[in-house]
Structure 1
Amino acid sequence: MPECDFCCLPGAQWVYVLQDRAVVALLSDEGLVTPLPNDGRWRACDICSELVDTQGMAGLVARSLSSLRMLGVPIPDGGPDLEHMAMVVMANFATVLAARPTRQPLQGRAS
């Protein structure tokens, strides 16, 4: 089963196609610009889909960081490092919420 592009957990049932695509890039302290991948199609599980549909940015960020921690990604417990990580995730997800996404069933999804 495909992974959700928001929470990284298996179970994607939907795909959001962005009408207006934006590019998000990270700028390092050394001035290195790294674009974040975005092909204009974001898969979503049922829970993340509900958050996208209701513009629930805080819930999307919290779910993403929580699931990444559960999957073994080192997520800071607090402080500036966690705030920075949350800002990066939020900037990436903002490209979806601001892009007038249309939701479609993911091809091959279970009925």
Structure 2
Amino acid sequence: MSPCDFCSSSGARWLYVPQDRATVALMTDNGVVNPIPNDGRWRACDLCSDLVDTDDMENLVARCLIGARIAGAPVPEGGPLLEHMAMVVMANFATVLAGRPTKERL
């Protein structure tokens, strides 16, 4: 089974394909713009799919960061570094959440 592109758990059952693909980039403190590469198509498990469908970005980002922490990524417990990481995750998710993506069963 495919992993969920949001939380990294196994068992993705849905594919979101954006109608209007957003181009997402982040700017460094030095003013350098770095695009976030992805094709805009996201696989989702049932739980993440529910969060996407209800436009619950806060809980979707939290679920993603918890999944990253479980997978061994260095996710801070709080503070500015966690806030920055959450903003990066949210910007990346914007590629699928822009407009109304179509939802297909995998």
Superposed pair shares fold, TM > 0.5: yes
Q: One-letter code of the match for 2:14?
A: W
Q: One-letter code of the match for 2:65?
A: L
Instruction: Name the SS of the counterpart of 1:88 in structure 2.
Output: helix
Structure 2 residue 67 is matched with structure 1 residue 67: yes
1:91 and 1:6 map into 2 onto residues whose CA distance is 12
Structure 2 residue 16 is matched with structure 1 residue 23: no
Deviation at 1:98, TM superposition (A): 2.3
- Percent sequence identity over matched residues? 67
The question of whether the paired residues in 2 share the 8 Å contact of 1:17 and 1:42 is answered with yes
Tell me, which stretches of 5 or more residues in structure 2 are unaligned? none
Deviation at 1:40, TM superposition (A): 2.5
Deviation at 1:8, TM superposition (A): 1.5
TM-score, structure 2 length as denominator?
0.92
1:83 matched residue in structure 2: 83
Deviation at 1:80, TM superposition (A): 0.5
The question of whether the paired residues in 1 share the 8 Å contact of 2:25 and 2:91 is answered with no
State the Cα RMSD in Å: 1.2
1:94 and 1:41 map into 2 onto residues whose CA distance is 11
Tell me, which stretches of 5 or more residues in structure 1 are unaligned? 107-111
Moved more, 37-46 or 62-71: 37-46
TM-score, structure 1 length as denominator?
0.88
2:99 and 2:28 map into 1 onto residues whose CA distance is 25
Q: One-letter code of the match for 2:82?
A: L
